Amino acid sequence: MASSTVLVAAEAFGGKLDAARVAQAIGRGVQAGNAKLQADPCPIEQLPKDFDERMHRAHALLIAAPRLSHEMLLRRDVVFELATRARQTGVPCYAIALSNELDLFEARILDLQLVLEADSERGLTSAAKRLASLM
């Protein structure tokens, strides 16, 4: 039986949008976009020890990061690491970013299925709703 959980790994988008609030906004969008899916919020700054286990059980990983960029790939930061783990275990990975500066090749390296941009809490919910409708 396929999982109905979307693991939402979120970073803070600055200002009033801390990681937990970003994950909650995305969770609302996931559930609005596909009633069969449930969001499992996971703020990136406090990844639990069972993250990999939760990801393996998930229908998909949805990463929320304020900026996706070439420099992020070079630094091999946490977003890069999470997308790589998803790719290596066969879990589809999507992203929502305040700013997406990745070119198509870089997004392919991370095996990101689709990257959407959002600049507000409402925008995060809307983007997640769109992604969930495609999952």
Q: What is the mean pLDDT of each run of 10 residues along the chain (135 residues)?
A: 82 88 94 93 87 93 93 80 92 95 90 94 96 92
Cβ atoms of 132 and 34 within 8 Å: the answer is yes
The whole-number pLDDT of residue 32 equals: 94
Fold entry, domain 5-134: Rossmann fold (3.40.50)
The whole-number pLDDT of residue 125 equals: 96
The whole-number pLDDT of residue 16 equals: 83
The whole-number pLDDT of residue 46 equals: 79
The string of DSSP codes covering the chain is: ----EEEEEE---BTTB-HHHHHHHHHHHHHHH-TT-EEEEEEGGG--TTHHHHHHHSSEEEEEEEEE-HHHHHHT-HHHHHHHHHHHHT--EEEEEEEE---HHHHHHTTEEEEEE--SHHHHHHHHHHHHHH-
